[in-house]
Structure formats: structure tokens, C-alpha cells
Amino acid sequence: MIGPPVVIPMSKSARDALIANVVLLLASAIFVVLRIYGRVTGPGLGIDDLLAVIALVVTICVIGIQVAFSISGNGYDYLPSTPEFADLTADLEYIMKGLFVCETLYLWALTSLKLSVLLFYRRCFGVSNHMDRAALVMIGVVLAWAITFTFLFIFLCDPIQQQWSTARIGHCMDQITIVIWLCATNITTDLVIMGMPMYTIWHLRMRKTEKLAMASCFALGLACCVIGIFRIVELTQVDLLSNITGTMGHTILLLGLELVFGIMCTNIPMMRPFYAKYRSRKSSSKLLEEPKCRSQSNNTGSHASGARQRIARRLGIPTDQTIGVETALELENYHVLGIKNKALVEHSVEENASNDGDSERRIADSVSDVFKFLVKDKGSCDFAIRSSGHIRWAGASNIEGGIALDHYGLNRIDISDKSTLARVGPGSTWDSIYEKLDPLSRSVAGRRVASVGVGGLTLGGGISHLSCCHG
């Protein structure tokens, strides 16, 4: 917008409101920049990130209009007895045009934020069909909501020019009532969107404290709902016909606050990778070391042991039958089923552990969840699959900068009653298989190296001296 016909010195209330919104706008811009940086240097940009940038740009335009309001009489009573009355009258049409543009920009800034969150849900919780469908439905609802109110704002008056004309040339609907309905429906959709991931989060294999922390991240938008409620209250005090400049100050402040808080609440959960990097630098490097031994009695240090037990509890695996997990289901790299370096579940090969079907099913579910996510996310993250403890060469069943999905924990071996059929988990190694088969005088062509997993060498089970004869 160009400047007003008459520049009026800022009132104290308008200046204070503008300072607050500009400071918070700068803070929200920092969050957006960090989000984009993290995505560019990580898994790559998505549409949700671009919508966050669009919301920031539109919000900057809204705060720019607030600047224009501040120098055109916002905060001064529009009364004939005031010394500013003549200047306010000259600026009145300019202020009304600003309101016409401001409400529409406000609407589409909110829409961009909502769509950004919903698309993030699809990427983050895409392994859940119910969540995916719910997000698609809400995307449709939000778009219908935005288009409906856009038409209402544009065609509020007949003719349209009546919205900013000081002359009586037509008629208008009740603008305040429509804006109140906009705020009320905005709060409703915010609450629905915030509630969508809660069921999924609460059923992740995590400790309750971590579930609460993640749920709190997604519930930050409650601050925007509170601001929206205050704005509804303030809108009932606005006098568009008699004293617009003296009564619109608080609602303009809250409009800007709602947008900048919305940007921050949307982008704060995306700061998790930066926190993870900081935490990894502060923690022991033992979490990134290769496992030393399968035995429960192996002592790799109290720090690593404690970390392994904590992460095991997240996955729901009994800690007394588990040596370690090298990453948990966290919001690393912007994914819930996520990623530091490896998704590795190690399991004891003791007899009682290998026969524990419940533990095996939980491990299988963990591996399955991660694999479904990787397939669903179509190439945003490279991954490799390792059967169990194969050669640690670079590129041999492992990967740099992606996920190595290790089936080490799926090591159960079942022999049929007639000893003619063996059911072998993909994490079993050939030495453990032969330990089961030898007492039964049974054998199978496999491995030349005892530590090779049954899925080693591209599911060929390793190279045997008898492979050329028996396959």
C-alpha cells in the first residue's frame, strides 16, 4: 500500500502494538529460515515447507498494512471534538481499503499454515491410512473454508466499492458478524487439526513423558486459539460506522499476534533436528559404535547401556532381553519413524528369548513400521536392509546418510514336529541355525562364514562350498 493522504503521528497504543508484532514477526521469520535450512541440508524441501514460507510472506504484508494503519490514525478517536478529526476524515477511505485487503490476506495466511501442518501430517504419519485419509479430508475442508470466506469478503457489499467508499452508494452485510464467524470457524479447525495426531502419537512405542513432549509440540497452536477468542471479544467492541480508528486498535494487534504465533507454533516442531544434533554432540559417541557382542553379559559402558534400555522401552521390548537400539522413534530428520544413523534392534539369542513370540512380534512391528514409512515416503531417504551381522564394509548392507534397517532381533528358529521344516527369522545367523539342526541330524546348504545372516548376499544366504551343487 502507498502512504495515507495525511500522515498522523503514531498513538502510543498503535506504536506499542506495532513494536510487539514486528519483534514477534522477526522471531517467526528465524524459525522459518531454520526450517528451510534444515530441510535443504536434510531430506529436501516439501510442499509443506513452501506453504510455511508463503504464510510468512503474507504475514509480512499484513504487518505492513498495520504499519500503514499506525500512521493514518489508528488509536485516535474519530470524534468531531478531537484535533485529529479532519486528518482522520481524509484518511478514512484509505483505512477502509486497508481493512478490505487485510482481512483477505489474514485468511490466506491462516490457510497456508493449516495446509502446511496437514501436509506435514501426511508426510510424518503417512504409514497410517486413517491419518492419511483424515488429513486429505481436512485439506478439503480448509480449502472450502478459505474459498467461502474469500467470496464473502470480496462481495460483502453491493457494489464492492461500498466497502471503502465514504459515500452511501449501496448496501453491505454485517462485516463484524462475518469476521466473528471467520474467527470462530478458524478456532474450530485449529482444534481439529491439533487433535488429529494425538491418537497416533499416544500409540507410538515411546515412554509416556516423550509422548507428552511430542503431543505438546503439536498442541502449541492452543496459543492461537486463545488469541482468537480474545479477538472475538474485541470485535464486538469495534464501531465501524462511528469510531473505527478509536476502536479497531486491539483487534488489529490481535490479528497480527495470531499470525506470528501461528507461524512459530507451526515451525517450532521442525526444530527437533537441530536439538537432536546438539544433543548428539553433547552425548557419548558410544551410541554410534557398532555392537561389540550379542551376549547380554557384554559390558559396553553404563552410558550406552542406559541409553539402550531407555530406547528399548520406547519400542516396547523387554529390557532384560535386549542389548540395544541405535535410534528411537523420534522426530529426527522431520520424521516420526526416524533416523539418526540406523534403526537397529538387537535381541538376545538365549533359548528363552528366542522362543518369546511376543517380543519377536513387537520387534517385527517396529521393523515393519519403519519399512512401511520408507516405502511410503518414496525416495526422500536412502536405506539399506541387513539380515544380521554381515560384513561391516562400507556399502555392504549399510548406508551413509540414510537408514540401515537391521533384522538382528528377528532371530527366532522353529523346527516342525517331524523335523522336516524349519521356520527361520531373517535376523538369524547360520551358526545359530546349525546349532538347532545338528542335534536333529538335519542340514542345509548355506554360509561359508558362520556369522552371515540367512538373508546375506542379496538373500542368497551367503556362499556355501555346496552352492554350486545344491543352490
pTM, two decimals, is 0.62
CA-based nearest residue to 275, from 200, 207, 330: 330
Instruction: Using CB atoms within 10 Å of the CB of residue 224, give its burial: 0 to 12 exposed, 13 to 18 middle, 19+ buried.
Output: buried
Interatomic CA distance for residues 208 and 225, integer angstroms: 26
Note the pLDDT of residue 75: 87
Beta bridge partners of 325: 345
What is the pLDDT tens value at each position of the chain, 471 positions in all? 566 778 889 999 899 999 999 999 999 999 999 999 888 877 678 899 999 999 999 999 999 999 999 998 888 988 888 888 898 888 888 999 999 999 999 999 999 999 999 998 887 775 567 788 899 999 999 999 999 999 999 999 988 988 888 777 788 899 999 999 999 999 999 999 988 888 777 766 566 777 777 777 777 788 899 999 999 999 999 988 888 888 998 999 999 999 999 999 888 878 776 766 666 565 434 333 433 333 333 333 343 344 444 444 444 444 443 333 332 223 333 333 333 333 333 333 333 334 455 555 555 666 666 666 666 655 556 667 777 655 555 556 666 656 667 676 677 787 776 667 777 777 777 778 778 877 877 777 666 666 677 766 544 455 565 565 655
- Map out the domains of the chain with their CATH numbers: 12-273 (1.20.1070), 283-470 (3.30.465)
Closest by Cα among 266, 216, 229 to 114: 266
Q: Are 57 and 272 contacting, i.e. CB atoms less than 8 angstroms apart?
A: no
Helix (H) / strand (E) element for 16: namely: helix 12-41
Grid cell of 47 as nine digits: 510442499
C-alpha grid cell, residue 134: 483424515
CA angle, residues 319, 321, 325, in degrees to nearest 5: 60
* Per-residue pLDDT at 319: 45
Residue 463 Cα distances to 389, 442, 452, angstroms: 15, 19, 9
Q: How far is CA 246 from CA 70, 88, 102, 131, 187, in A?
A: 12, 10, 18, 46, 26
Burial state string for 439-469 with b = 16 or more CB within 10 A and e = fewer than 16: eeeeebebbeeeebbbbbbeeebbebeebee
Closest C-alpha among 141, 272, 273, 260 to residue 196: 141
Q: List, in sequence order, every residue forming a beta bridge with 422; answer none if it has no partner.
A: 415
Question: Residue 301: left if φ>0, alpha if ψ -120 to 50, beta else—which one?
Answer: left
Residue 162 grid cell = 461500498
Amino acid at 244: I
> Which residue blocks in 196-248 are alpha helix, DSSP H?
198-202, 208-218, 222-235, 244-247
76-112: b (≥16 Cβ within 10 Å) or e: bbbeeeeebeebbeebbebbbbbbbbbbbbbbbbbbb
Q: Quick one: pLDDT at residue 254? A: 93
Burial class (CB in 10 A: 0-12, 13-18, 19+), 129: exposed
Backbone torsions φ then ψ of 405, nearest 5 degrees? -95, 105
* Whether the Cβ atoms of residue 245 and residue 73 lie closer than 8 Å to each other: yes
pLDDT of 440 reads: 79
Predicted local confidence at residue 308, as pLDDT = 42
371 exposure class (CB count in 10 Å sphere: 0-12, 13-18, 19+): middle
